[in-house]
Every structure is written in structure tokens, then in C-alpha cells.
Structure 1
Amino acid sequence: MNDIALLFSTFPSRVEAERVAETVLTERLAACVNILAPCHSIYRWQGAIERGDEVPALFKTVPQLAGQLRDRIAALHPYDLPTIEAWPVSAAAAVSDWIAAETG
């Protein structure tokens, strides 16, 4: 097992998630982006409880690019305060090798 970085963010629409995904893939900051089924989020924002439908996305990259990928997602993201979480995860050697090759 080898380490990869998995970044998670939510978007206001599938179109926005795909726009950001295609940009970071073209720039080779991520090897894969999984755009998930819409979800319903409930959160506190500026003192009030808000609700809204969002589209989650998982970005797969090498650990060395996680910070740069996070910054790029934030720059492209339509939200004033995008939540972008990063986790180190283990993947099979073949998967981590593929991610390294596609982001290299």
C-alpha cells in the first residue's frame, strides 16, 4: 500500500464540480475526480442555520501536490468560503503509481 491524497469539496451544482474537475485534471494536479450524487447540506453560516443541495467531489492526487491542488480548487470555487478537506489514504501500489504518472 502506498499513500495518496484525497481531497473532498462540495459544489453548488454538477456543472461547477465538472468545471473545476476538468481544470485541475488538465493542469495535472489530480489524476481523477469522482463527482458524487447530490446531497442535502445543513450548516451554520453567518449566524443562521442554512440548508442547500450540493454536489460532492473527491479529488485524487499525490501527497506532494495536495496543497497546490487545494489552493487551485479554492481559486476556482464559486463559494466565498469553500470547504476543502484533505486526507492521506492508502491505495494499492498500482493505483498510486497511476496517480503519480498522471500528475507527473
Structure 2
Amino acid sequence: MDDFVQVSTATENREAAVKLAQLVVSARLAAGAQVVGPVVSVFWHQGEFGTGEEWQLLFKARADRYAEIEAHLLQHHPWKNPEISAVPIVAGSDAYLRWVNATTAPGTAE
């Protein structure tokens, strides 16, 4: 079975997060997405220390689709330089991973 990742990004509001989630999942780049929030972020940005509320997105995907997900998010994200990162899913139930694999395999009908 292929390797899998959880890809994350964040937006400033729920509506933008849901829109990105719908775009990525409807394109079958990710099997599903969760929108979590609001979350409190503490960060450095453009040389300044700040805090704020964000809405986090978590995508379930095949590792070999990461570059496409990143490109899709960069194209549609409302921020110029959003955080987009991936962590490996090192273990998961067979049924769950089969679902991610089948749902996001290249060439899967939309």
C-alpha cells in the first residue's frame, strides 16, 4: 500500500477554510478534510510577534499527491505565503487507508 500524509494549512475564517477543503476534496487530491477552529495561533510574521485566531485544515491524502495538493492550495489560498505542511501517517486501520488510497488514486473519476 502507498504512503499516506496528513496535510495542514490554516485560514483566517471558517468560510475560507471550508472553501479550500471543498476545492481539494472535490478534485480528489485528498480523501477528506477536517476544518478545526477557531484555534489560537502565536507567531512571528514579517518581523513582528503576534497572536490571532485561525481555522486549521487537515487533509488525508496519499503521499504521492502532496505536490498537487500544495500547488492547488497555493493557487486558491487567500494568503500570499500560507503554511502548508505534511506529516506522514505512520499507522492507520487497513479500512481507513484503503479508503484514502481508493478515493485519491490518480485517474479516479470525479
- Output the TM-score relative to the length of structure 1: 0.92
Identify the structure with the greater strand proportion. 1
Higher relative contact order (CA 8 A, sep 6+): 1
* Segment of structure 1 superposing worse, 1-10 or 81-90: 1-10
* Residues 7, 84 of structure 1: 8 Å contact kept: yes
Gap runs ≥5 in structure 1: none
Spell out the pairing of 1:64-75 with structure 2 (5 A cutoff). 64-75=64-75
Q: Which residue number in structure 2 is paired with residue 59 of structure 1?
A: 59
* Identity of matched residues, %: 28
Moved over 2 A (4+): none
* Residues 2, 62 of structure 2: 8 Å contact kept: no
* Residues 33, 60 of structure 1: 8 Å contact kept: yes
- For the pair 1:92 / 2:87, whether they are aligned, the reply is no
* Residues 34, 58 of structure 2: 8 Å contact kept: yes
Partner of 1:81, secondary structure, is coil
Gap runs ≥5 in structure 2: 106-110
RMSD: 1.5
